[in-house]
Structure 1
Amino acid sequence: MIKKVSQLTEEIKNELITLNEYILNNPELGNEEIKSCNAHIDLLKKHGFAVKENYLDIKTAFRAEFKGSKPGPTIGYLAEYDALPEIGHGCGHNILGTTSTGAGIVLSKVLSSIGGKVVVFGTPAEETCGAKVDMADKGAFDDITVAMMAHPADHHYKSGDSLAMEAIEFTFKGKTAHAAACPEEGINALDAVINTFNNINALREHTKSDCRIHGIIKEGGHAANIVPDLAIAQFYVRATTKSYLKELVEKVKNCAKGASLAAGTELKICNYEYSYDNLVTNQNLSKAYCKNIKKLGVEKIHEAKESYGSLDAGNVSHVCPTIHPYFGISQNPIVAHTTTFRDATNQPFAYENMVKTIGALVLTAVDVIENNNLLHNIQEEFKTTEK
């Protein structure tokens, strides 16, 4: 199977390079990826996939399916293709999406002999509002046996974790007054914001060390001689598990409620961005992937990177067993979200590892389809892992 998968990947390599270069040269921000989305769809249709466009009423999302000759597990590959402002594909989503679509196409060509189904998901706006969140909430991944994707990086890394995150906005409403002539007539909304920060800083002593709470004052008044009647603060609250995040968020909200009560303001609490679940790597699936990419010539796979950020792939991992490993695109140290990283995605070394990564993603899918014991272990782990 290794030889067959490698041969099939080489056969479509030039098509994948063309796709990658097109998306690289036509960077589009989240939910604006019309050209990128259509380029993926066109290639998948060319290789026999049935594609649902405007998937779940998300303009630049898609679901592309290919069924094997007999029933079996359903493999999901997650494709991203949004760019960053100014620098374009500094996070490498051009080659990330190309790798997922490539894996889907190659797997589709072996399903006639092993059965099962492959689904490639076009998932917009990872850098901003994370379409995978909506897609997970609307049931997009409910029928997926396992989901996989691989992100470009400086080296090959095992799939790790990410923090669950909730984005909370506190709006405090007070009352204006002349800050010098009659301050007693005013209700200072900015005081409530400042005390919210102070309360949260006191809370940090009693939170787990791997949590993160960070925020800004979005609005705090317009003139020093006017008591601010409106002040807004925004916070990201992050934790290693969704369950602890829920507990921590309530404590943060209480910090704001106490500050509002002390200042005498009215308080409105809302979410200003989507909430992200923590990424839960399925270790049995991850071990299978690592074993396969080593078979394809990758000698060194680094341990998972310590992460204090958040990914919308985390929401997928709460619905079905998921991995999110990284593959190297440069022989020199590079940092993501830079023009150097962007340029590295269109070099021979990056394509060499893209091919190996596609092979590993496909071979891992074949293992899941053919090895009932592996599939059982993956599913049992998913059921029992804390989320």
Structure 2
Amino acid sequence: MSTHAAELHALSHSLHAEPEIAFAERRSAAKLTESLSQHGFDVRRGVAGLPTAFDATFGSGELVIGLCAEYDALPEVGHACGHNVIAAAALGAGFALAEVADELGITVRVIGTPAEETGGGKVLMLDAGVFDGVAAAMMVHPNPVETVASPSLAIADVAVRYTGKESHAAAAPHLGRNAADAITVAQVGIGLLRQHLEPGQMVHGIVSHGGAAPNIVPAHTEALYYLRARDLESLRRITARARDCFAAGALATGCTHDVVEISPTYAELAPDAWLAQAYRTAVTALGRTPLSRAEEVLRQAGSTDMGNVTRALPGIHPTVAIDCGDAVNHQPEFAAACVNASADRAVLDGATALAHTAIAAATDADQRDRLLEGVARR
């Protein structure tokens, strides 16, 4: 991996310096695909009808290993989730595996998946068949702590839009129907609902549009909400209750409302046990100390569209620790840490551990057969 260190670090830093949000990662996708092309990968751009998605292939072996690259950033705080590290590590693992692809009888695919933070790029690509034929899919994510098979939460990403009636806020407020009040009522309902949420359920949101001017009764407002739960069934229950709160806002104020799905639903992670153990062995050999299984299942979780991938085929989504002080993902301080020396080490260690995990699966006869049989059954 040291052969590619300078290139991978430069790529990580370049992505970090020019953050792009969901479905707008044009420069980022171009940088990644150019690098893959230079290393002999056959690159298809714009797959699944997504301009910033790509699928880069090397080799022709029957066992297909997928390495997922993420490269979208967050509004305002840039790469505060470290997707620059994810992308560089995916390419590093791809380069390493390409060197032994013929010997191992594998095909290496680096799959560029846009819009993880919102938009569900992987879900759209799954539905479009991009992951068909992939025997195992892997990626590694920077984090304050080292984990192998930590859980994630299922999530629904929705917009609630209220429509009322404009009027002069002083001269004729009685002729208006206040769509901002509808959001207020819904927020109160959500706030009271929190006392009765099931373990693992969460609701959080923002007002994305609250009106045009103080002297106009707002006729059009919008709130964005994330609804999370430990699994899809629990998510279904909390979504139904939240929708009742949204409807209450409309009923109380005489407005109408619509609830619109912004992203496909993300499922919870279901890491493949054998691949996870192989990764644990590989990353431990590099001198890293991941949390035990008992410890990692107790950690507070976020959400990822990689969950949908791991429920469709064997896959893993470990996290690699970087030195970030007291910062956590989605904070500006974490963004700054994603280009420090520890983040550069994480690129190489993550790539190396992913490559060794793939090699372990390819060279274990039982696991190779299991993965190939899984493809045949899908």
TM-score by length of 2: 0.84
The alpha carbon displacement at 1:164 in A equals 1.5
Aligned partner of 2:36 among 31, 34, 44: 44
Kindly provide the CA deviation profile for residues 7-52 of structure 1, in whole angstroms up to 9, marking residues without a partner as x: xx22322332332333334444443333332222222222221110
Kindly provide the amino acid, as one letter, of the partner of residue 159 in structure 1: A
Kindly provide the CA deviation profile for residues 272-298 of structure 1, in whole angstroms up to 9, marking residues without a partner as x: 344322222233321221012112332
Aligned partner of 1:321 among 314, 317, 321: 314
Q: Provide the C-alpha distance between the structure 1 equivalents of 2:106 and 2:193, rounded to a whole number of angstroms.
A: 50
2:268 corresponds to 1:278: yes
Q: Provide the C-alpha distance between the structure 2 equivalents of 1:87 and 1:182, rounded to a whole number of angstroms.
A: 42
2:304 corresponds to 1:311: yes
| Superposition RMSD in Å | 3.2
Q: Provide the C-alpha distance between the structure 1 equivalents of 2:43 and 2:315, rounded to a whole number of angstroms.
A: 22
Q: Secondary structure at the match of 2:68?
A: strand
Deviating more after overlay: 152-161 vs 234-243: 152-161
Match of 1:250 in 2: 240
Aligned partner of 2:188 among 198, 201, 219: 198
The alpha carbon displacement at 1:308 in A equals 4.1
> Conserved in 2, the CA contact under 8 Å of 1:321 and 1:379?
no
Max Rg structure: 1
The alpha carbon displacement at 1:212 in A equals 0.8
Q: Secondary structure at the match of 1:318?
A: helix
The alpha carbon displacement at 1:237 in A equals 1.2
The alpha carbon displacement at 1:121 in A equals 0.9
The alpha carbon displacement at 1:62 in A equals 0.9
Unaligned 5+ runs, structure 1: 1-8, 383-387
Match of 1:148 in 2: 138
Closer, same or farther in 2 for the Cα pair 1:366/1:201, shift >3 Å? same
Kindly provide the amino acid, as one letter, of the partner of residue 249 in structure 1: T
**Superposition pairs for residues 179-198 of structure 1, below 5 Å?**
185-198=175-188
Closer, same or farther in 2 for the Cα pair 1:120/1:175, shift >3 Å? same
The alpha carbon displacement at 1:169 in A equals 2.5
The alpha carbon displacement at 1:149 in A equals 0.8
Deviating more after overlay: 305-314 vs 144-153: 305-314
Kindly provide the amino acid, as one letter, of the partner of residue 15 in structure 2: I
The alpha carbon displacement at 1:377 in A equals 7.2
Q: Provide the C-alpha distance between the structure 1 equivalents of 2:107 and 2:139, rounded to a whole number of angstroms.
A: 16
Q: Secondary structure at the match of 1:51?
A: strand
Q: Provide the C-alpha distance between the structure 1 equivalents of 2:215 and 2:14, rounded to a whole number of angstroms.
A: 55
Match of 2:5 in 1: 13
Q: Provide the C-alpha distance between the structure 2 equivalents of 1:224 and 1:11, rounded to a whole number of angstroms.
A: 61
2:156 corresponds to 1:163: no
Match of 1:24 in 2: 16
The alpha carbon displacement at 1:159 in A equals 2.8
2:121 corresponds to 1:131: yes
Q: Provide the C-alpha distance between the structure 2 equivalents of 1:173 and 1:333, rounded to a whole number of angstroms.
A: 43
The alpha carbon displacement at 1:78 in A equals 0.9
> Conserved in 2, the CA contact under 8 Å of 1:155 and 1:330?
no
Query: How many residues get paired?
Result: 372
Q: Provide the C-alpha distance between the structure 2 equivalents of 1:183 and 1:342, rounded to a whole number of angstroms.
A: 46
**Superposition pairs for residues 203-214 of structure 1, below 5 Å?**
203-214=193-204
> Conserved in 2, the CA contact under 8 Å of 1:81 and 1:94?
yes
Kindly provide the CA deviation profile for residues 350-374 of structure 1, in whole angstroms up to 9, marking residues without a partner as x: 4444333222111111222232434
Deviating more after overlay: 175-184 vs 56-65: 175-184
Unaligned 5+ runs, structure 2: none
Closer, same or farther in 2 for the Cα pair 1:249/1:14, shift >3 Å? same
Kindly provide the amino acid, as one letter, of the partner of residue 276 in structure 1: Y
> Conserved in 2, the CA contact under 8 Å of 1:284 and 1:377?
no
Deviating more after overlay: 335-344 vs 157-166: 335-344
Kindly provide the amino acid, as one letter, of the partner of residue 109 in structure 2: V
> Conserved in 2, the CA contact under 8 Å of 1:290 and 1:301?
no
Closer, same or farther in 2 for the Cα pair 1:27/1:192, shift >3 Å? closer
> Conserved in 2, the CA contact under 8 Å of 1:285 and 1:378?
no
Kindly provide the amino acid, as one letter, of the partner of residue 228 in structure 2: R
Match of 2:106 in 1: 116
TM-score by length of 1: 0.82
Kindly provide the amino acid, as one letter, of the partner of residue 207 in structure 1: L
Identity of aligned residues (%): 34
Closer, same or farther in 2 for the Cα pair 1:151/1:252, shift >3 Å? same
Closer, same or farther in 2 for the Cα pair 1:67/1:240, shift >3 Å? same
Kindly provide the CA deviation profile for residues 121-153 of structure 1, in whole angstroms up to 9, marking residues without a partner as x: 112233343422322232222322221111123
> Conserved in 1, the CA contact under 8 Å of 2:47 and 2:130?
no
Kindly provide the CA deviation profile for residues 162-201 of structure 1, in whole angstroms up to 9, marking residues without a partner as x: 2221122233333455667766655444443333233334
